[in-house]
Structure 1
């Protein structure tokens, strides 16, 4: 059930959308639909998946089977969280091992110029694979970045026969989804839950810092909104970001990647309208900024920062990805929602790669003094709606060889 404030927000959005688009509908060619009658509108709505959210071949991988063969470990891996849903992974599957490689063609350009987000995404996939292996009666032992001459060779995973023992996190893999919608503002995440997640995150390479006090939350939210504005104002970053958005039904089913309008966190009305009425890059980014400012930072119960000693170390990035994936699976099992919220870090990487003044790097460091280097940030809270799935490529598309 929606909160009263959500219902009011949806109504306001509908009114604003109607006013913004009335003239464009009549004068921009879409008036042809009105002449043809409501049937044409219904046809375009159906053609763009307005009535079929989360269905079709692009979503079939979420029907994760119980592991019966090596390829099923990859089926679990590809359901991992990953930046902009680029799915930047390739797997070589053999009887005694699996190799994980980065797909160099699936990057976000200036959004991720140092490949930080790609490598974190690969760590997320690795964690899913490691969690799924025991259910198949296998002990998985991962060696990170095993070939210094090939930085794209992310991990070598030895598979050894062992007794079957399903991880309690396994059942969360096919139901974990990034939730970009509003979180409940009347229900705080208990401190003992945050502390449990912090302890679960700690190892030799990674730690977790919570930004949970109101003043610190406000400060991080403000920086995130300004970083979003800076990305939108940067022509290269804006274009590279927009390239991974998907609103057309046929594109979703063909490409099977990217951030869809259904998973954007917008209201049902706006999601449906965006599928019927083509939107520009600027309109898309206006919605992103509005959602970041008015929904995502304002309703977060807390923000988390995954910290490492060296933000450029590939193994540390992979470990951070494994940590985030594990935390997200734990949160899913606890009925909590999570969403990566990394605009500040995307601007930090842009500042470094382009030789810009390190404004965002300094501001973020001021919020996290003496805690290492922030490598990933996210929000957490109790959901108000069920988060929809994102499209996934078929496992056959990411295998170098067929599994035995």
Structure 2
């Protein structure tokens, strides 16, 4: 009885019975309040996709304007040394914000990088009362989650669907490349798995800068309200429950689980995608690519599709530049694109999932609004 009682207490203490609940998850339920005003736009923005769930945004809100800032304190270090992923995530937040503006009775005027003297000011969104059509994607905002579970290999993603995803973008500086056939998927999957092994072997990227964002306990999740959690890792239900109840495993065991999971994710991908821009150093292009990614992900959610970034290859390519290494992954990405006019910034998979993706924690609106 003591053992069983202790197990139940441990399960309750670690949130086994409260998956996706508690203050850290309330923003997913409270994103649309009965009150009006610009803060409702921020409530939608903070539910956007972002790297490592770092939530690297700050907002300054007035009745007629919202300024979106990067929070450089929430950078990923060696994982994202050029802040590319950070700005993709900021573009995702901007996309949600603009979608929410129409639903809250505003028309918007967006200016990217409006102040050359402040590199943290990513976008200025002017707000004017007005009636514009509300996109069906607005209603997908609280339903969109990165899905790391295996995808259904018996349910292929059609070329018609991939073309429809591509057609969502009309930016001449942003493009998605698809790898859908088995012949195309195999080398991409192999590259992503190889990149995951290289990532794990780099203790700065894996142990230090990724470990900083790992939220191992229920208490950590509720305190920080950000970061990487076991619930969102795409693990089988029993593995996830045992992972919460048992003592913390070693870094080596965590890495082994991550590599096995990555191999399964690559093997079951319905298709791989590669998001590219003309100039990977251009902040506005990075942000616009983020808007496109969020738009695709919301549309995919509406259509019953799952999506997941598998971005270790681009992270390793950046690391190669920083360390002056031979550009192994940089060359591999260029070979996939086969067009010198485009530079890869995000690799991902798409498919029909075998399991519903679970929510990640989110900070409260008051924590991301600056005076």
TM-score (norm 2): 0.96
Determine if the alignment matches structure 1 residue 161 to structure 2 residue 158: no
Structure 1 residues 319-328 or 351-360, which shifts more? 351-360
Post-superposition CA distance 1:32-81 (Å, at most 9, x none): xxx95121122111100111110101000001215721101000000000
Q: Which residue of the partner structure matches residue 378 of structure 1?
A: 348
Query: What does residue range 1-400 of structure 1 map to in structure 2 within 5 Å?
Result: 36-63=2-29, 64-65=31-32, 68-239=36-207, 240-277=209-246, 278-293=248-263, 295-370=264-339, 372-400=342-370
Q: Measure the CA separation in 2 of the matches of 1:46 and 1:149.
A: 50
Per-residue deviation at 1:200? 1.2
Q: Measure the CA separation in 1 of the matches of 2:271 and 2:38.
A: 38
2:107 and 2:132 in contact (8 A); partners too = no
3-state SS of paired residue (2:145): coil
1:263 and 1:387 in contact (8 A); partners too = yes
Size of the aligned set, in residue pairs, is: 366
In structure 2, the gaps of 5 or more residues are none
Per-residue deviation at 1:281? 2.1
1:320 and 1:376 in contact (8 A); partners too = no
Q: Measure the CA separation in 2 of the matches of 1:378 and 1:104.
A: 25
Q: Measure the CA separation in 2 of the matches of 1:97 and 1:282.
A: 48
Post-superposition CA distance 1:144-187 (Å, at most 9, x none): 11111211111111111211532111000011000000111001
Per-residue deviation at 1:297? 0.3
2:179 and 2:271 in contact (8 A); partners too = yes
3-state SS of paired residue (1:146): coil
Q: Which runs of 4+ in 1 moved over 6 A?
A: none
Structure 1 residues 159-168 or 380-389, which shifts more? 159-168
3-state SS of paired residue (2:234): coil
Aligned residues: CA RMSD: 1.3
Per-residue deviation at 1:378? 1.0
3-state SS of paired residue (1:169): helix
TM-score (norm 1): 0.89
Give the structure with higher Rg (CA): 1
Q: Measure the CA separation in 1 of the matches of 2:148 and 2:320.
A: 26
Per-residue deviation at 1:139? 0.9
